[in-house]
């Protein structure tokens, strides 16, 4: 959300030399959830703003020269073989049709095994017995880290200022003599940056930096990588992203034959006593621990079991393959899964852009446009309403099947590096 905001400030005519981007790691930040091989692109209708936001994003992924190279429009197949899962997918299909924006042309219900095999020749008849699902032809995957990197290159070429490492890690916001007007930030190396507006777009780290009054709970999701031989990879080339809410999802192999497999589950929290800026005392906050700063961390043993189950279902021919990478990436959920994009109610000119709720990467091309609108006081009213400061509700569960389990109760993931 931060890089997208910087991009849209430039596209709106602000002078690049007046924009400063700060981050712990150089852009594309290796601890951002978006620092990934791929993320899903699909139209989701969970909350009111979702339709407009995902349609705008789709248009930019398809046509904007900066983003176009990173959209792999191979389709997304949302499938299930359980009675309840299939019924939910039928409802979802109907909701897409009811949105009345021409999605009857791009969403195809696959009822029979033969139809599924035609879309996914890598599957076997035996494997897809009883499966049904929705093929979204306008979906696919996004080369995530590469897309953020392209924004980074653009920002650099325009002369945007950067601060990384100690010069990009927030110590605290700076305030005017009134104590409530934010005039910049100080970073941990002691640098002071002054600005008319400060946008805090720190993803899953946001609730650790300023007190969000429990509006966001940061959670980790897991992924595994398999390496395929060129022959193996060839049979999965250009296939749609396959997603089954009861198992997980996977993507076609990357150019070097890496397949990413994820399981779908309510995420893992990591609660600790911690005092974010603005809190009067330390409180229980879910604090991310990134793979970038702890490269030997993996994921819990229970995830290994679930990922193996997902591999057996989706890629039975590869079920004995060695997993070459295991990692967690961090998102932050709000209670209602709407974003949290608003001015801080106590601190004028400090703008929060957070609350991704696990579904915001696809908005990389356009989300910054709305942050700029907020800065300029022109954000559309329904977004102001949905993204407002709104304590209360249960962000630990959010709109997922269950509350997140805590990593403290799980074994197998934590591997401190031996020096």
What angle, 0 to 180 degrees and rounded to 10, lies between the N-to-C axes of helices 367-376 and 2-11?
Answer: 70
Q: Is 367 an interacting residue with respect to ligand FSA (CB under 6 A)?
A: no
- Note whether 264 binds ligand FSA by CB under 6 A: yes
Contact 26, 20 (CB under 8 A): no
Q: Is 289 within 8 Å of 297 (Cβ atoms)? A: yes
* Closest distance to ligand FSA from the beta carbon of 115 (Å): 22
Alpha carbons 73 and 368: distance in angstroms, whole number: 23
Q: Does 42 bind ligand FSA (CB under 6 A)?
A: yes
By CB under 6 A, is residue 309 in contact with ligand FSA? no
Question: Of 299 and 347, which has the nearer Cβ to ligand FSA?
Answer: 299
Q: Are 288 and 330 in contact (CB under 8 A)?
A: yes
Q: Which stretch binds ligand FSA (CB under 6 A): 67-75, 89-97, 190-198, 356-364?
A: 356-364
Give the C-alpha separation, 342 to 210, whole Å: 14
| Count of other CB atoms within 10 angstroms of residue 27 | 23
Does residue 62 belong to the site contacting ligand FSA (CB under 6 A)?
no
Neighbour tally for 381: CB within 10 Å:
7
Q: Distance between CA 375 and CA 173 in Å, rounded?
A: 17
Least distance from ligand FSA to the Cβ atom of residue 328, Å: 11
Considering the rule CB under 6 A, would residue 278 count as an interface residue with ligand FSA?
Answer: no
359 binds ligand FSA (CB under 6 A): yes
144 forms part of the interface with ligand FSA (CB under 6 A): no
Task: Give the position of tokens 């969970």.
Answer: 46
**Which residue, 131 or 265, has its beta carbon nearer to ligand FSA?**
265
- Candidates 163, 257, 278, 358: give the one binding ligand FSA (CB under 6 A): 358
- CA dist., res. 240 & res. 122, Å (int): 11
Instruction: Tell which one of 60, 122, 331, 372 touches ligand FSA (CB under 6 A).
Output: 331
Query: How many chain residues bind ligand FSA (CB under 6 A)?
Result: 10
Contacts with ligand FSA by CB under 6 A lie at: 40, 42, 44, 221, 262, 264, 331, 358-359, 362
């Amino acid at each position: 959300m931060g890089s997208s905001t910087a991009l849209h400030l430039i596209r709106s005519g602000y002078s690049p030399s007046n924009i400063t981007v700060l981050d712990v790691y150089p852009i594309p930040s290796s601890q951002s959830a978006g620092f990934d091989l791929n993320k899903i692109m699909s139209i989701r209708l969970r909350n009111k703003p979702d339709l407009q936001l995902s349609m705008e994003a789709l248009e930019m992924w398809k046509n904007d020269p900066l983003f176009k190279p990173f959209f792999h429009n191979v389709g997304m197949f949302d499938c299930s073989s359980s009675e309840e899962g299939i019924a939910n997918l039928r409802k979802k299909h109907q909701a897409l049709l009811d949105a009345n924006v021409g999605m009857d042309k791009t969403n195809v219900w696959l009822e029979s095994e033969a139809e599924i095999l035609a879309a996914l020749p890598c599957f076997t008849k035996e494997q897809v017995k009883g499966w049904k699902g929705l093929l979204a032809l306008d979906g696919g995957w996004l080369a995530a880290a590469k897309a953020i990197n392209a924004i980074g290159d653009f920002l650099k070429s325009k002369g945007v200022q950067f601060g990384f490492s100690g010069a990009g890690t927030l110590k605290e916001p700076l305030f005017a003599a009134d104590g409530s007007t934010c005039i910049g930030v100080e970073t941990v190396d002691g640098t002071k940056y002054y600005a008319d507006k400060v946008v805090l777009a720190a993803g899953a780290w946001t609730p650790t930096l300023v007190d969000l009054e429990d509006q966001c709970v940061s959670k980790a999701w897991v992924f595994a990588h398999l390496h395929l031989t060129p022959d193996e990879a060839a049979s999965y080339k250009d296939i749609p992203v396959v997603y089954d809410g009861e198992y997980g999802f996977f993507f076609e192999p990357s150019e070097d034959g890496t397949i990413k497999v994820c399981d779908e589950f309510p995420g893992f929290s990591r609660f600790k006593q911690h005092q974010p800026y603005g809190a009067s005392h330390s409180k229980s906050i879910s604090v991310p621990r990134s793979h970038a700063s702890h490269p030997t961390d993996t994921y819990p043993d229970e995830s290994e079991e679930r990922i193996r189950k997902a591999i057996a279902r989706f890629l039975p021919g590869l079920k004995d393959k060695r997993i070459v990478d295991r990692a967690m990436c961090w998102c932050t959920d709000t209670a209602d899964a709407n974003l949290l994009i608003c001015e801080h109610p106590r601190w004028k000119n400090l703008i929060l852009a957070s609350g991704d709720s696990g579904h915001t990467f696809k908005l990389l091309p356009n989300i910054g446009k709305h942050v700029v609108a907020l800065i300029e006081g022109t954000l559309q009213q329904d977004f102001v309403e949905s993204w407002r400061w709104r304590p209360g509700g249960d962000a630990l569960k959010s709109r997922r099947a269950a509350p997140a389990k805590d990593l403290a109760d799980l074994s197998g993931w934590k591997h401190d590096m031996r020096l």
